[in-house]
Amino acid sequence: MRAVRMAAFGPPSTATIEDLPTPEPDEGEVRVAMRAAGVNYPDLLVMTGAYQHKPPLPFTPGKELAGEVEAVGPGVTRLAVGDRVMVQVEYGAFAEQVIATEGQCFKIPDGMSFVDAAAMGLVYQTGWFALFDRARMTEGDVVLVLGATGGVGLATIQIAKAMGAGSVLAGVSTMSKAQAARDAGADHIIDLSGENLRDSLRDQVMAVTDGYGADICIDPLGGDPFDAAMRALAWCGRMVVVGFAAGRIPVIKANYLLVKNIEVSGLQWSDYRDRTPERMIDAQAEIFRLYADGKLTPHVMDRIPLARVADAMAVIEERRVTGKVVLEL
Ligand SMILES: NC(=O)c1ccc[n+]([C@@H]2O[C@H](COP(=O)([O-])OP(=O)(O)OC[C@H]3O[C@@H](n4cnc5c(N)ncnc54)[C@H](OP(=O)(O)O)[C@@H]3O)[C@@H](O)[C@H]2O)c1
């Protein structure tokens, strides 16, 4: 089988395509024939060696895929050959065949394409746990989503709207992409590209919420957008740290939390996958149910052949992405 390989940590252009032996599933594992694989910002971090968990070299990158179960190991009870599944793994998804535990597989609803399924794992789960576990979103909340046109951003906007947020505000840096955030359901666009973000972000949020502010901010950016968004939270607001795409890890002054009665929490998606797989199965079932009901629709901006993985990663690296890029066989 063909697989993307990294012999050393480095830019995606150093990835090669190699022929590897067909892997055999062990106890509790299945082998999935990959049809589509979602590309994520964290893949870039893993390939360059900047991610918190570094795979042993050489390795196959990729955290999610969709395909068909083609072999089942001993002790597997929930899955059978022929089942259509979406799969979440730590790494290894960018290959024609992938070994996964039963718990890492989520059955795909009838009628859902492999491409859509591969785009509805990691980023939707991240948005789900950020909104409901970390930020305790309830109906009517005002939700500000930064990095709104990226994978996590668009998914989070859609989920917040589908689950009854009162108002969803999309923080957008590249204004030419703003329509994608509107299409995902954002009620207002917050322009992050202007001068003096510290004031301009808060002014915009206060203007569209009649001076109320945001109950929740989901932040995949860090840096200046994080600092500015902290000033736009409502009383008892909740900020969720998801990532640092803007490049700087912010520092928080504790007195600020006290004075404004606000809280800041962090979200690490993979911990839910590894520590509470049953919660992830429930969350993914809800996400797929909302898809089947027409309330969530992944925004797949491009489908690129597996062998052109470097081109797919370049879309992420060069900030050209809107929503998701998916690799296909
Ligand atoms: N904690 C977790 O479990 C978890 C899970 C998934 C992802 N993440 C992290 O979340 C972040 C976003 O992931 P993603 O999949 O949504 O990435 P993505 O699809 O590449 O989107 C990134 C977004 O960030 C914006 N952006 C990029 N550089 C920026 C900058 N310098 N200043 C302001 N905005 C910038 C882009 O908007 P413009 O195009 O408008 O600039 C884009 O909307 C990454 O840091 C990723 O590692 C964390």
Could you tell me the two tokens for 58? 């050489």
Residue range 76-92: average pLDDT?
97
- Cα–Cα dist 195/271, whole Å: 37
256 and 322 co-located in one domain: no
Residue 27 placed within a domain: yes
Give the global pTM.
Answer: 0.96
201 and 89 co-located in one domain: no
Residue range 204-215: average pLDDT?
98
Residue 238 placed within a domain: yes
Residue 182 placed within a domain: yes
Residue 277 confidence (pLDDT) above 90? no
Ligand 1 atom nearest residue 44's Cα: 47
95 and 184 co-located in one domain: no
Q: What's 313's domain CATH number?
A: 3.90.180.10
Residue range 142-167: average pLDDT?
98
Ligand 1 atom nearest residue 192's Cα: 33
Residue range 117-141: average pLDDT?
98
Residue 248 confidence (pLDDT) above 90? yes
181 and 318 co-located in one domain: no
Q: What integer pLDDT is reported at residue 282 of this predicted model?
A: 94
Structural domain count, the chain: 2
Ligand 1 atom nearest residue 42's Cα: 47
Read off the pLDDT band of 231 (50, 70, 90): very high
Which protein residues touch ligand 1 with a CB less than 6 Å away? 40-42, 45, 122-123, 126, 147, 149-153, 172-174, 177, 220-221, 225, 242-247, 267-269, 316, 319, 321
**8 Å CB contact between 23 and 55:** no
152 and 247 co-located in one domain: yes
Residue 96 placed within a domain: yes
Q: What's 247's domain CATH number?
A: 3.40.50.720
113 and 175 co-located in one domain: no
103 and 134 co-located in one domain: no
Whether the bond between 25 and the residue before it is cis, its omega within 30 degrees of 0, is no
Read off the pLDDT band of 94 (50, 70, 90): very high
Residue 260 placed within a domain: yes
* Atom 37, ligand 1: residue with shortest CA distance: 147
**Which mutation among 52, 120, 149, 173 tests ligand 1's pocket best, with the greatest number of atoms within 8 A of CB?**
173
Containing 182, the helix (H) or strand (E) segment is helix 178-183
CB atoms within 10 A of CB 49: 13
CA of residue 305 to ligand 1 center, whole Å: 23
Residue 282 placed within a domain: no
- Domain encompassing residue 19: 2-120+298-328
